[in-house]
Amino acid sequence: MNIQENVSLKPYNTFGLEATARYFVEVSTVDELKNALQNPAFHAVEKLFLGGGSNLLLTKNYEGLVVKIALKGKEKIFEDENHVLIQAGAGEIWHQFVMFCVENHYAGIENLSLIPGTVGAAPMQNIGAYGVEIKDIFHELQALNLETLEIETFTLADCQFGYRESVFKHTLKGKYVIVSVTFRLHKVPTFKTAYGDIQKTLAEMNVTELSIKAISDAVIAIRKSKLPDPAEIGNSGSFFKNPEISLTQYKTLIESFPTLPSYPINETTVKVPAGWLIEQAGWKGFRDGQIGVHAKQALVLVNYGGGNGNEIKKLAEKVQQSVLDKFGIKLSPEVNYI
Ligand code: EPU
């Protein structure tokens, strides 16, 4: 195992931001991960565990040890008439894993096509898109306890999944590293096409018979049409979470903004799209030098190349302030600031 010094993190974050890691190591097995953690030279050194770097805003150089999780592997560990359990290494690329499932006709994950990042990072924030969240196909995960260096298993209930939330962002923050995730996929698909864009896209694609592949293709087409490809324009997908507001506040708001979209959460709470709020606040397509707000999806902040993390952080703060001023709604970032 090779611990390198002063490594550029630019290839390791989808914003394409320049920052260096004082120390950097890539681990491909649990033993390599343990060795890195047991190395006495790094006991007291702060650590950052990195998946695909798709939810990361680097605002400065990292003075500690960056551990790139590259544990690979996909294995069918159980199968019956209706389901398969597939265990995947945390370092598997998420979209490649989804494609593997689509090709093998394992259903349930197809709506999550083309999301950047890795398998191990996905449960951290319960990734979701087009009506499906990882919790819907989650069986269990294995994670390394950073104190005991033992592997522990977390069930669905243990993970405490919520909208872009899990126990690993709260009470267990910084205490575990996910090393593998097991998914429970269906052999007989139940298609989820309720998200309006999916039906429209399937119709445009002249799909007459639904299939796992057709849905995956539709989701890929929608994402490509709205979301910038990080290989071309640096970004980390949705920068903010969609805020939940009280029904009372919503009722007041629609008097002034009758077209405000909303999704009911329960009897007292509704979710409203941050992209809509940001667009109405005038930011869609805004550009300042090398950074800006994406012209096709206002929820996505972008680095056209050469922008820096602090500029993006400042832009995010301005966006938050103007949405607060106009609507009285506080936006919370989905990305993690370093
Ligand atoms: N909207 C606007 N203007 C915009 C963007 C959106 O008015 O610039 C409106 C749309 O017209 C629509 C609503 O906002 O009425 C929702 O937009 P969209 O379907 O594009 O989804 P989103 O709420 O902006 C969420 C997720 C995405 C996920 C999509 C599809 C969050 C924070 N984001 O975005 O996830 O792909 O739904 O399910 O929940 C991500 O987390 O990185 C991500 C891309």
CA–centroid distance, 33 to ligand 1, in Å, is 36
Q: Which of 164, 180, 223, 236 is catalytic?
A: 164
Phi and psi for 267 in degrees, rounded to 5? -70, -20
User: In the prediction, which pLDDT does 313 show?
Assistant: 98
User: In the prediction, which pLDDT does 193 show?
Assistant: 95
End-to-end CA separation in angstroms for the chain: 25
Closest Cα to atom 13 of ligand 1: 273
Q: Angle at CA 240, nearest 5°, toward 234 and 244?
A: 160
- Any ligand 1 atom below 6 A from CB of 68: no
Instruction: Kindly give the number of the ligand 1 atom that is closest to the alpha carbon of 55.
Output: 42
Q: Does residue 58 have a pLDDT over 80? A: yes
Q: Does residue 1 have a pLDDT over 80? A: no
- Any ligand 1 atom below 6 A from CB of 238: yes
Residue 8 gets which letter from DSSP? E
Q: Does residue 60 have a pLDDT over 90? A: yes
Active site residue 180: no
In three-state secondary structure terms, 62 is strand
DSSP string computed for 241-267 = PPPEEEHHHHHHHHHH-TT---EE-SS
Alpha-carbon distances, residue 209 vs 185, 205, 206, 260 (angstroms): 21, 11, 9, 34
Which of 299, 331, 332, 335 to mutate to test ligand 1, by most ligand atoms within 8 A of the CB atom? 299
Number of DSSP helices (H) and strands (E) in the chain, helices first? 8, 20
pLDDT tens digits, one per residue of 121-169:
999 999 999 999 999 999 999 999 999 999 999 999 999 999 999 999 9
Active site residue 238: yes
User: In the prediction, which pLDDT does 196 show?
Assistant: 77
Number of other CB atoms surrounding residue 49 within 10 Å: 21
Calculate mean pLDDT across residues 199-217: 96
**pTM, full prediction:** 0.96
User: In the prediction, which pLDDT does 234 show?
Assistant: 97
pLDDT tens digits, one per residue of 250-270:
999 999 999 999 999 999 999
Instruction: For domain 234-337, give its CATH number from 1.10.8.80, 3.40.50.1820, 3.40.440.10, 3.90.78.10.
Output: 3.90.78.10
Q: Angle at CA 84, nearest 5°, toward 80 and 86?
A: 145
- Any ligand 1 atom below 6 A from CB of 55: no
- Any ligand 1 atom below 6 A from CB of 284: yes
CA–centroid distance, 152 to ligand 1, in Å, is 35
- In this structure, are strands 287-288 and 291-293 parallel, antiparallel, or unpaired? antiparallel
Structure-block tokens of residue 131: 């009506």
Which of 125, 197, 238, 263 to mutate to test ligand 1, by most ligand atoms within 8 A of the CB atom? 238
Structure-block tokens of residue 223: 């994402």
Instruction: For domain 74-186, give its CATH number from 3.30.465.10, 3.20.20.70, 1.10.150.120, 3.40.50.300.
Output: 3.30.465.10
Task: Read off the pLDDT band of 195 (50, 70, 90).
Answer: confident
CATH code for the part of the protein at 4-69 = 3.30.43.10
- Any ligand 1 atom below 6 A from CB of 14: no
pLDDT tens digits, one per residue of 286-299:
999 999 999 999 99
CA 296 to chain CA mean position, Å: 19
Q: Nearest-CA neighbor of 86 among 181, 188, 190?
A: 181
User: In the prediction, which pLDDT does 266 show?
Assistant: 93
- Any ligand 1 atom below 6 A from CB of 165: no
- Calculate Rg over the CA atoms of the chain: 21
- Indicate the burial class of 336 (C-beta count within 10 angstroms; 0-12, 13-18, 19 or more): middle
Instruction: Kindly give the number of the ligand 1 atom that is closest to the alpha carbon of 226.
Output: 20
- In this structure, are strands 56-57 and 336-337 parallel, antiparallel, or unpaired? parallel
Calculate mean pLDDT across residues 180-195: 96
Task: Read off the pLDDT band of 215 (50, 70, 90).
Answer: very high
Active site residue 26: no
- Any ligand 1 atom below 6 A from CB of 129: yes
Q: Where are the domains of the chain?
A: 4-69, 74-186, 234-337
Q: Helices (DSSP H) in the chain: which residue ranges?
A: 30-38, 94-103, 156-159, 196-204, 212-226, 247-256, 274-280, 309-327
- Any ligand 1 atom below 6 A from CB of 237: yes
- Any ligand 1 atom below 6 A from CB of 91: no
Instruction: Kindly give the number of the ligand 1 atom that is closest to the alpha carbon of 195.
Output: 38
Q: Nearest-CA neighbor of 312 among 337, 280, 332, 329?
A: 337
Closest Cα to atom 27 of ligand 1: 129
Closest Cα to atom 36 of ligand 1: 129
Q: pLDDT averaged over the chain?
A: 97
